[in-house]
């Protein structure tokens, strides 16, 4: 009985050693953890765009890179590998209104990871929701719901529903009266939100029209 117990303990020990070695092997050979020091892979140059569903980041393709690793963190958080892509762009739909996100991109080969790009900071602003477009004596009143973390709003107008022009300056309020309208015309309106330093601008709201 004692010999059987010793044999069982020995087998468990051997299995543990094998598993430990396998884990170490995977960690040390995962391309996400082997840094390229040859200088062959360059750091990508990353830009961003805010759209209705989230944040789009893009970069120029890195010579020699077969795919790209996207790392992301939230304000006050730590960097985590968020996803991989073979394209030179990535759409992040997993964002929340009013939150700040940081991104880094790495060019990768089968067994190497290049240097990180410069960090890109993005505040995601949800698109505004227009609540009313109403005709009144002094023009057209456009009203909308507040957007989290927005400092200003802009109102845009079109006469064909396609080409829009800005008809307001920065607005802190949640409404605007467009007094530069003419009787007998149809107008289309949309609104965008911006943060306090105007660095981040939301996608435009849905478009509403009115016959004035």
Q: What is the Cα–Cα distance from 40 to 52, expressed in whole angstroms?
A: 37
Inter-residue contact 125 to 165 (CB < 8 Å): no
pLDDT for the residue 39: 62
pLDDT tens for each residue of 148-175:
999 999 999 999 999 999 999 999 999 9
- The helix (H) or strand (E) run that includes residue 186 is strand 186-194
Q: What is the Cα–Cα distance from 151 to 149, expressed in whole angstroms?
A: 6
Strand order in the sheet with 165-166: 165-166, 152-158, 186-194, 208-211
- Tell me the percentage of the chain whose pLDDT exceeds 90: 78
pLDDT for the residue 20: 36
The b-or-e profile of 132-155 (16+ CB within 10 A means b, else e) is ebeeeeebbebebeebebbebbbb
| Strand partners for 35 | 113
Domains and CATH numbers, the chain: 46-123 (2.60.40.10), 130-211 (2.60.40.10)
pLDDT for the residue 207: 97
Per-residue 3-state assignment (H helix, E strand, C coil) for 76-142: CCCCEEEEEECCCEEEECCCCCCCEEEEEEEEECCCCEEEECCCEEEECCCCCCEEEEEEECCEEEE
Q: What is the Cα–Cα distance from 47 to 174, expressed in whole angstroms?
A: 30
Pick the closest to residue 157 from 136, 182, 137 (CA basis): 182
The label of the residue with tokens 């009013």 reads 98
pLDDT tens for each residue of 101-127:
999 999 999 889 999 999 999 999 999
Query: Which segments of the chain have a pLDDT < 50?
Result: 1-33, 36
């Amino acid at each position: 009985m004692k010999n059987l117990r010793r044999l069982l303990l020995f087998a468990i020990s051997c299995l543990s050693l094998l598993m430990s070695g396998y884990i170490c092997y995977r960690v040390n050979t995962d391309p996400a953890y082997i840094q390229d020091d040859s200088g062959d892979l360059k750091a990508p140059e990353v830009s961003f765009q805010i759209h209705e569903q989230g944040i789009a980041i893009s970069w120029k393709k890195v010579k020699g890179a077969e795919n790209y690793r996207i790392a992301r963190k939230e304000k006050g958080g730590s960097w985590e590998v968020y996803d991989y892509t073979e394209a030179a762009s990535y759409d992040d739909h997993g964002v929340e209104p009013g939150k700040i996100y940081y991104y880094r991109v790495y060019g990768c080969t089968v067994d190497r990871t290049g240097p990180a790009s410069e960090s890109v900071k993005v505040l995601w602003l949800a698109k505004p929701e227009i609540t009313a477009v109403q005709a009144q004596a002094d023009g057209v009143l456009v009203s909308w719901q507040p957007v989290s973390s927005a400092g200003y709003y802009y109102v845009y107008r079109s006469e064909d529903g396609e080409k829009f022009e800005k008809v307001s300056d920065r607005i802190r309020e949640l409404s605007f009266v467009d007094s530069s309208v003419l009787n007998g015309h149809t107008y289309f309106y949309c609104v965008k939100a911006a943060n306090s330093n105007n660095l981040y601008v939301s996608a435009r709201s849905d478009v509403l029209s009115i016959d004035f």
